[in-house]
Amino acid sequence: MTDSPRNARPGGSPPALTHQRADGAVHMVDVSAKGETKRVAVAQAVLITRADVIDLLVSGNLPKGEALAQARIAGILAAKQTSSLIPLCHPLFLTGAEVDFAAAGDRVRIEATVSTTGKTGVEMEALTAATVAALTLYDMVKAVDRAAVITDVTLLSKSGGASGTYTREAP
């Protein structure tokens, strides 16, 4: 298989996918020509369980101990490791990562906010942080509810870069 120019298709039209060359091979996009901008992404995940389990979670009385602090740290660590987990993500110098929780009824909503000043966005880092925090909560509650569900992993917003601001519309 021969290599063809990375950013052109036969006839000079732009590639359909930025991570795919004209010959169909994947590659890591070259962002060296892009300008650095402040970039922020916010993502969420939701853990659904029983209301009594949420009470144990919030009070820190789960059999495995205090879960929210562990999930927060796991989410932050995950944001920092995203390029090791997602093959075509660029390694980024993160300038901030926060993971917050809102528990109500039978669910806890995890919200991750990740920021950088760089040439590429942090959407994948925010999604990874929210997902790993949710997985950590699942691991902590499974002793009392193996039927817990992780759902609604979603990018809520992003800002910065050439594509500008995106905010997910409320359902």
**Which residues are known to be catalytic?**
139
SS (H, E, C) the chain: CCCCCCCCCCCCCCCCCCCECCCCCECCCCCCCCCCEEEEEEEEEEEECCHHHHHHHHHCCCCCCCHHHHHHHHHHHHHHCHHHHCCCCCCCCEEEEEEEEEEECCEEEEEEEEEEEECCCCHHHHHHHHHHHHHHHHHHHCCCCCCCEEEEEEEEEEECCCCCCEECCCC
Cβ neighbours of residue 118 closer than 8 Å, sequence gap 6 or more: 36, 37, 39, 92, 93
Is the separation of the CB atoms in 143 and 64 below 8 Å?
yes
Q: Which residue has the tokens 């509810």?
A: 145
